[in-house]
Structure 1
Amino acid sequence: MKLLSWNCQGLGNPWTVRSLRKLVKDQAPKVCFLMETRLDKEGYDKHCKEVHFQNKLIVKRPNSGGGLALLWSKEVNLDVINYTDNHILAKMVEEDGFVWYLTCFYGWPDASQKQKSWALLKHLSTFVQGPWMCIGDFNTILHSSEKQSSHPPPYKQMDDFREALDLCNLVDMGFNGYPFTWNNKRPGIANTRERLDRAVANLEWRVKFPTSTLIHLFSHASDHSPLLLQTSDEGGLRNRGVQSFKFEEKWLLWEECEKIVAEAWSKDWRAPTSLANTKEKIGHCGAELLAWGSSRTHPNAKEIKRLQKHVEQLSVGVMTEESKAEFLVASKKLDDLFLKQEIYWAQRSRVNWLKHGDRNTKFFHSKAS
């Protein structure tokens, strides 16, 4: 099973939602835990309706920030036990009947309230009987090596965090990937990077899932890195059949598409009847579109990977005013490619219409007229 955990820092804008959909599509998690969504259930249903999970729990108090969301697929046997603004506790049942407890955790960010995090963690341990795993943004570090900054690490917070984990018999699970999960993206000596997000588990859970791995992913849409927990090896290939020609909605995002159609349609085939002439025009138009659009049909996976790597390198490198500006430009290009990719896959999943946002294009003016 795969579990995605991400402090997304707001799901009310298409930039972040597209990144979330991209993560879900690429990683195929069965469970997804989101923090700082800033959306209630109505807002989530409005902005994230294309994030397809059959089950969800949205936690959000009126007129407040924060917000949690737990999403899971229909094949996952998950029962929510309790929740607050800072946690969701659930009982998980595997296919073989094995029962374990999942805590999705969001620690208090303010230094003056850190003790509330550890009090909550200790309280949750009283509900657990057996294997237990906690994942999320704990909003503090465990070791001094988990902070890169001109400011000293918070030794008192670290000691309190270690004590809470010891009392709950929880151990850090380690990770694969870049060592820090949060970057304030400020240039020069003001830049700070920390490992605030993690997964911890007790001995019973680790014995059951000895090959489990935690990977630090990357997203340009948040200061926090998404975490991907995989409890076991998963594989399998999707069979792909032969594809027939079809007009790609994504082509409409290129201005030259209109020119290709106009030039192809303007040719006079001198057919014996108007109907025959129209059929010739349609056939020629389709052939011209196919020749022009063949290099634009499939989402540009290589360019997406190249930009993702470039943006990630800018994020993990030394942050300067120049690199920050370059990061924003590259992130915008990456988001545009995500949009084109979404249209491609939406058309293939038989979505009748995909709202592209407030984009001032000739296509949408013509559709509205």
Structure 2
Amino acid sequence: MGMEVDSMGRSGGLAFLWKKGVMCTFRSVSVHHMDFVVAVDEGEWRVTGFYGWPVVSDRHLSWELLRELRVSNGDFPWMCIGDFNEILFATEMKGGNRPQWQMNNFREAIDDCGIRDVAFEGYDFTYDNGQEEPDNRQSRIERAMGNERWFDMFPRARLIHMDREWSDHSHIKVILQPRPDRDVRGGKVFRFEQIWVGEEGCEEAIRKAWASGTGDLPDTLTDCAKELVEWKGIGIGKIVRDIHSKRRRLKCLNEGGRSARAINERKQIVKDIASLLKQEEIFWRQRSRALWLKEGDKNTKYFHQKEGQRKKKNHIAKLIDDDGREHNGTVAVAAVAKEYRPERR
């Protein structure tokens, strides 16, 4: 479910989305803000998505709107998040200079509203103009701020500056209730992946295993799986590791200098990440069996959910052997499956 406001040319554009079952009550909207009340276990709180005026001469309108939103807030816990197109301090900009009066006007507005920053993690700046040095400009113009009642409700909340990829802006994400670190799960069951079809070496690995097999189908399939794992790695795990590796390098480039070489390398890595994400999409499409997905969708979380539903269905409760006897239970079913011999032609 959601609501959107169209962009103004290449600037602006707002969208507010929420999961089914989450209670969101609409309050107000304009081309520069979207305002909702969200009901959660902790109680109701207000969230405002904000887009500040990009032209400096109009920037005072941003602060007038922010103050109006504060007046209409009443006693609600309130968080305001978005692109304010302004910084609070000179240290929030790299390259160039910001007039002190611009920053003062922003500071006065948030003081009048009684809100303060949500502590962030990640790179210091959320915007990069993509130019080579010495013309490169970076700044922290995206942020999230809350009033004291909101911080009382979410005392451990933090803001994440996501690593910038295709856009000149970084995504930002608020974590309301950070989870403790969890242990990584162990090994996974082998599965043949559709994305391997057509790749060099795949057919040869299968032929090698099949030719050296003993004739026993389960053993031959096990040998085939071993050959494919040795050839390609561990399926989706390798794709995910490659994505993480590329993004770690991208993070270094985002936070480093802006030489022509670094900018060109960054462009190539962004293309590599796009290719890997496409492979990940194909992987989960195969797993979910939801083949009606439109090309280009990146909603892999949806596929994870569909895969989970499929696993619930793909359970063999019983098997009937060649003599017509019914076998129940994991061990008995596995024994019948292992003894099965397809007719040779």
Q: TM-score, normalised by structure 1?
A: 0.69
Are positions 1:297 and 2:241 aligned together? no
- Within 5 Å, which residues of 2 pair with 1:137-152? 137-149=83-95, 151-152=96-97
- Within 5 Å, which residues of 2 pair with 1:27-106? 55-60=1-6, 65-96=11-42, 98-106=43-51
Find the partner of 1:160 among 63, 86, 105.
Answer: 105
3-state SS in 1 of match to 2:236 = coil
When residues 239 and 310 of structure 1 are mapped into structure 2, their CA distance, relative to the original with a 3 A threshold, is: closer
When residues 313 and 243 of structure 1 are mapped into structure 2, their CA distance, relative to the original with a 3 A threshold, is: closer
| Equivalent residue, structure 2, for 1:315 | 254
Ranges in structure 1 where 5+ consecutive residues have no aligned partner: 1-54, 272-278, 358-369
When residues 242 and 311 of structure 1 are mapped into structure 2, their CA distance, relative to the original with a 3 A threshold, is: closer
Query: Which structure carries more relative contact order (alpha carbon 8 Å, separation 6+)?
Result: 1
Ranges in structure 2 where 5+ consecutive residues have no aligned partner: 297-345
Computed over aligned residues only, the root mean square deviation of the Cα atoms, in angstroms, reads 3.2
- Residue 71 of structure 1 aligns with an amino acid whose one-letter code is L
Say whether the 8 Å CA contact 1:251–1:296 is kept in structure 2.
Answer: no
3-state SS in 2 of match to 1:190 = coil
Cα deviation for residue 63 of structure 1 reads: 6.9
Measure, in 2, the Cα distance between the counterparts of 1:176 and 1:265: 49
- Within 5 Å, which residues of 2 pair with 1:170-319? 170-234=115-179, 246-252=191-197, 254-257=199-202, 288=224, 291-292=227-228, 295=233, 297-300=235-238, 301-319=240-258
Find the partner of 1:332 among 271, 275, 299.
Answer: 271
3-state SS in 2 of match to 1:189 = coil
Residue deviations 1:171-202 (CA, integer Å, cap 9, x gap): 12231221111111211110111000111111
Greater Rg by CA? 2
3-state SS in 1 of match to 2:164 = coil
Cα deviation for residue 354 of structure 1 reads: 5.2
Cα deviation for residue 309 of structure 1 reads: 0.9
Measure, in 1, the Cα distance between the counterparts of 2:253 and 2:68: 41
- Residue 269 of structure 2 aligns with an amino acid whose one-letter code is A
Sequence identity, in percent? Answer: 32
When residues 253 and 308 of structure 1 are mapped into structure 2, their CA distance, relative to the original with a 3 A threshold, is: farther
Residue deviations 1:296-315 (CA, integer Å, cap 9, x gap): 52242332222111111011
| Worse-matched range after superposition: 172-181 or 315-324 | 172-181
Q: TM-score, normalised by structure 2?
A: 0.73
Say whether the 8 Å CA contact 1:182–1:223 is kept in structure 2.
Answer: yes
- Residue 317 of structure 1 aligns with an amino acid whose one-letter code is G
When residues 265 and 310 of structure 1 are mapped into structure 2, their CA distance, relative to the original with a 3 A threshold, is: closer
Measure, in 2, the Cα distance between the counterparts of 1:60 and 1:142: 28
